[in-house]
């Protein structure tokens, strides 16, 4: 190992320790308890600076010369962010004057955040920020409908780097304070082997049913996904077990990978814990987290109903009705062998990981404590239960926990840097007035028609979410897109749920479906085939957000009569579209029947979106159910188990 590599390794370890000390010190309010009082921006400067440096060092170039330059740049960022943290009370007095020293300081900080963001997510988000920054100088010269107020480059640099409406925005504070305990909790739970427990429980619940291997993946990934807060991390943790299980059971590699990707992605919509984005939404909308979780219940249930239906129909397509389809069994194929295989991966002691999850739910929903307090309590409970194991050695366990915690700082740094980059987006929109122009133009493009607006928003959400982790997707969409929906009359909660839903779906939707690609890597199959398989299997999922925006009682549970009329309609739409996409009901169905299902499903969907909940909607549902019953009764499935392997 060269001297440069040793220096990088030492520096990276120091940054992990720095970030851990600063984060837990602020969460525990240690400065105030000891008579020291600091601006929140001082803590944010340290958290952002350490996170930037950590990513620069963790994803640096390999060539010695470039590695040395990267080390110098990382050290420069460390020094400048620390300088800002120490001197922020004085620096804020210079914001309006924008002296040259502050401009240079701001420029280096901006470059540091953008470069760290590029190394984490690729070029898309940094380029988007640069384009928006360039528009600040162009739009003042455009016609009135596109014009914004002029901003000088010196003013822009200082504003973006030091103002509380830009880099040090509320978004960064939420990421570094509110979301941090949950990111660390999910990472620690995964690192300690908690994901195996969720797969075990899923196998106990659904492993013996038709298509048991796939259903284990759905239930296990949903349970772990709501804790982990990251679709890709969930795929890596659960998919390493579930995808080979599905392959042994006879599923094609792209299908197995797609099922795992969709299951892992949807976990972030599943109450009671959901993912970190739900806590961001709670803070941004100033709504209690309990209300956010309640609003997510029906969309999440419909999501997993659509996925379970697709998995079941996929199994029916290759197995005679009444027999078990592809299953979770090892090669010998016996149910006992399957259960022994799953049980062998877990012991009774692993159930101790349910205690911290219970602590988290208790403080969130019973005590109604703040998310950060609840997350810290759950994290502390996780540390404590880690010492409960046969033959556990306290010193060795403590050292292991320390290493796991420092490793978890990498995930926290990723979230903090994304929030810092999103702060630049907010800053550009605020300082120039571009947010008002953007909202007007999106509204103009939709022609004031809500369905067109929703369709444009869904496409933009998928495009802007390409390659981005969940929290970054939601921050970006909540800033850029959600205000346009609110302007058109959509309730704020429904607007934010809509962009979050489609931002999450970007992870399984071509062209850049990062959850599908991660699952494809585990399955050793084509990323593109997996992404399109995700689209085929999850087709019924894509209609759910359109319905709850137009019928917000699905989120608030008000106006019960309308709600109970809407639910049968959306369920019928999901059944029809999924049956068409999978090509099965009781068994395989012909292409003409699939065309009929598609036509009937689209007619019912358009009728629902048009607001017709009376006789016409009831007639459509009745017709759909009669057709489904006829196809099930007259279906002649054939035994083709493993035929498309």
Cβ–Cβ < 8 Å for 474, 277: yes
At residue 346, the pLDDT reads 58
Residue 46 has pLDDT above 90, yes or no: yes
Cβ–Cβ < 8 Å for 464, 484: no
Task: Select from 367, 392, 416 the last residue of a domain.
Answer: 416
Residue 154 has pLDDT above 90, yes or no: no
- Is 402 a domain residue? yes
Per the listing, tokens 């240690």 go with 30
In DSSP terms, 588 is beta-bridged to 584
DSSP 590: -
Is the same domain home to 202 and 301? yes
- Is 640 a domain residue? no
Range of the domain at 335: 171-416
- Is 609 a domain residue? no
Cα–Cα distance measured from residue 517 to residue 308, given in angstroms and rounded to the nearest whole number:
21
At residue 417, the pLDDT reads 92
At residue 559, the pLDDT reads 62
Cα–Cα distance measured from residue 237 to residue 306, given in angstroms and rounded to the nearest whole number:
23
Cβ–Cβ < 8 Å for 548, 299: yes
Is the same domain home to 192 and 277? yes
Cα–Cα distance measured from residue 480 to residue 464, given in angstroms and rounded to the nearest whole number:
10
333 versus 97: the higher-pLDDT residue is 97
At residue 224, the pLDDT reads 74
Mean pLDDT, the chain, integer: 81
Cα–Cα distance measured from residue 81 to residue 90, given in angstroms and rounded to the nearest whole number:
14
Q: Look at 312-316, 417-421, 457-461, 616-620 and tell me which has the smallest mean pLDDT.
A: 616-620
Grade residue 581 by pLDDT with cuts at 50, 70 and 90: very high
Grade residue 319 by pLDDT with cuts at 50, 70 and 90: low
Q: Which residues of 544-583 are buried (b: 16+ CB within 10 A; e: fewer)?
A: bbbbbbbbbbbbeeeeeeebebbbebbbbbbbbbbbbbbb
Please give the sequence-ordered ranges of beta strands (E in DSSP) within 230-363, or none if there are none. none
Q: What's the CA dihedral at 338, 230, 263, 529 to 10 degrees? A: -100
Q: How many CA atoms lie within 13 A of 15 on its CB side?
A: 31
Say if residue 52 is exposed, middle or buried (CB neighbours under 10 Å; 0-12, 13-18, 19+).
buried
Is the same domain home to 231 and 87? no
Residue 451 has pLDDT above 80, yes or no: yes
The segment with the largest mean pLDDT, out of 99-113, 198-212, 442-456, 600-614, is: 99-113
- Is 308 a domain residue? yes
Comparing C-alpha atoms, which of 548, 460, 446 is closest to residue 505? 460
331 versus 152: the higher-pLDDT residue is 152
Is the same domain home to 228 and 97? no
384-391 long-range contacts, CB within 8 A, separation 24+: 385/352, 385/353, 385/355, 385/356, 386/192, 388/349, 388/352, 389/349, 389/352, 390/349
| Mean pLDDT value of segment 207-211 | 63
| Mean pLDDT value of segment 488-509 | 90
Is the same domain home to 201 and 64? no
Residue 556 has pLDDT above 90, yes or no: no
Query: How many domains are there within the chain?
Result: 2
At residue 206, the pLDDT reads 65
Grade residue 641 by pLDDT with cuts at 50, 70 and 90: very low
At residue 456, the pLDDT reads 86
- Is 422 a domain residue? no
Comparing C-alpha atoms, which of 412, 416, 411, 408 is closest to residue 172? 416
Q: Which residues of 512-533 are buried (b: 16+ CB within 10 A; e: fewer)?
A: bbbbbbbbbbbbebebebbbbb
At residue 314, the pLDDT reads 86
Share of the chain above pLDDT 90, in %: 21
Is the same domain home to 210 and 91? no
Grade residue 208 by pLDDT with cuts at 50, 70 and 90: low
259 versus 334: the higher-pLDDT residue is 259
DSSP 148: -
Q: What is the pLDDT of residues 584-620, one digit of tens each?
A: 887 788 888 888 888 888 888 888 887 765 555 566 6
- Is 407 a domain residue? yes
3-state secondary structure of 490: coil
Helices (H), 433-491: 434-446, 450-464, 470-480, 482-487
Task: Select from 399, 416, 433 the last residue of a domain.
Answer: 416
Residue 96 has pLDDT above 70, yes or no: no
Is the same domain home to 88 and 201? no
At residue 25, the pLDDT reads 92
Is the same domain home to 97 and 185? no
At residue 546, the pLDDT reads 92
Is the same domain home to 59 and 191? no
Per the listing, tokens 């370890």 go with 13
| Mean pLDDT value of segment 324-336 | 41
Q: Look at 144-153, 210-219, 315-324, 532-541 and tell me which has the smallest mean pLDDT.
A: 315-324
Q: How many CA atoms lie within 13 A of 182 on its CB side?
A: 31
Q: Is the dihedral of CA 191, 193, 197, 199 positive or negative?
A: positive
- Is 593 a domain residue? no
Is the same domain home to 267 and 354? yes
Residue 638 has pLDDT above 70, yes or no: no
Grade residue 324 by pLDDT with cuts at 50, 70 and 90: very low
At residue 474, the pLDDT reads 85
Is the same domain home to 20 and 87? yes
At residue 49, the pLDDT reads 95
Is the same domain home to 106 and 202? no
Task: Select from 382, 399, 416 the last residue of a domain.
Answer: 416
Residue 88 has pLDDT above 60, yes or no: yes
In DSSP terms, 584 is beta-bridged to 588
- Is 427 a domain residue? no
């Amino acid at each position: 190992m060269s001297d440069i590599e040793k220096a990088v390794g030492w520096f990276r370890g120091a940054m992990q320790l720095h970030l851990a000390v600063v984060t837990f010190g602020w969460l525990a309010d240690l400065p105030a308890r000891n008579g020291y009082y600091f601006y929140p921006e001082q803590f944010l400067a340290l958290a952002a600076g350490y996170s930037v440096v950590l990513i620069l060092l963790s994803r640096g170039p390999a060539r010695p010369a470039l590695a040395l330059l990267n080390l110098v740049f990382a050290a420069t960022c460390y020094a400048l962010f620390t300088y800002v943290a120490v001197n922020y009370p004085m620096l804020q007095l210079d914001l309006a004057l924008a002296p040259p020293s502050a401009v240079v300081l701001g420029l280096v900080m901006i470059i540091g955040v953008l470069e760290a963001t590029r190394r984490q997510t690729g070029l898309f988000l940094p380029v988007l920020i640069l384009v928006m920054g360039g528009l600040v100088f162009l739009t003042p010269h455009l016609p009135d409908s596109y014009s914004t107020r002029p901003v000088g480059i010196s003013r822009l640099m200082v504003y973006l780097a030091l103002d509380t409406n830009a880099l040090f925005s509320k978004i960064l504070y939420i990421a570094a304070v509110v979301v941090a305990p949950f990111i660390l909790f999910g990472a620690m739970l995964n690192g300690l082997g908690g994901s195996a427990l969720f797969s075990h429980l899923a196998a106990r619940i659904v492993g013996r049913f038709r298509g048991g291997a796939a259903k284990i993946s759905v239930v296990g990934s949903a349970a772990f996904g709501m804790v982990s807060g990251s679709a890709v991390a969930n795929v890596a943790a659960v998919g390493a077990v579930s995808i080979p299980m599905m392959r042994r059971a006879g599923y094609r590699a792209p299908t197995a990978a797609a099922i795992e990707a969709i299951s892992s992605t949807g976990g972030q919509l599943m109450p009671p814990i959901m993912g970190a984005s739900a806590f961001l939404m709670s803070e941004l909308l100033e709504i209690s987290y309990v209300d956010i979780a309640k609003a997510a219940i029906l969309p999440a249930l419909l999501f997993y109903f659509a996925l379970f239906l697709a998995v079941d129909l996929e199994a029916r397509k290759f197995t005679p009705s009444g027999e078990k389809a592809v299953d979770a069994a090892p090669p010998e194929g016996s149910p006992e062998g399957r259960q022994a295989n799953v049980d062998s991966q877990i012991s009774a002691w692993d159930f101790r990981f349910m205690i911290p999850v219970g602590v988290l739910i208790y403080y969130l929903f019973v005590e109604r404590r703040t998310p950060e307090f609840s997350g810290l309590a759950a994290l502390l409970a996780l540390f404590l239960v880690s010492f409960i194991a046969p033959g556990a050695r306290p010193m060795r366990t403590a050292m292991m926990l320390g290493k796991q915690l420092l490793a978890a700082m990498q995930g926290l740094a990723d979230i903090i840097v994304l929030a810092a980059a999103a702060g630049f987006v907010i800053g550009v929109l605020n300082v120039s007035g571009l947010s008002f122009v953007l909202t007007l133009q999106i509204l103009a493009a939709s022609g004031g028609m809500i369905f067109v607006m929703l369709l444009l928003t869904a496409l933009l959400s998928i495009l802007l979410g390409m390659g981005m982790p969940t929290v970054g997707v939601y921050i970006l969409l909540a800033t850029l897109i959600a205000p346009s929906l609110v302007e058109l009359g959509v309730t704020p909660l429904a607007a934010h749920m809509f962009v979050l839903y489609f931002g999450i779906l970007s992870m399984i939707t071509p062209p850049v479906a990062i959850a599908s690609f991660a699952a494809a890597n585990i399955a050793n199959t084509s990323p593109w085939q997996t992404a399109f398989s995700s689209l085929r299997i999850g087709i019924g999922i894509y209609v759910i957000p359109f319905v709850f925006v137009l019928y917000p009682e699905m989120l608030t549970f008000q106006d019960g009569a309308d709600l109970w009329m809407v639910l049968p309609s959306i369920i019928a739409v999901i059944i029809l579209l999924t049956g068409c996409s999978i090509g099965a009901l009781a068994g395989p169905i012909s292409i003409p029947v699939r065309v009929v299902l598609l036509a009937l499903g689209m007619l019912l969907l358009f009728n629902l979106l048009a607001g017709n909940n009376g006789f016409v909607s009831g007639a459509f549902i009745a017709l759909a159910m009669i057709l489904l019953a006829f196809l099930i009764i007259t279906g002649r499935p054939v035994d083709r188990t493993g035929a498309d392997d």
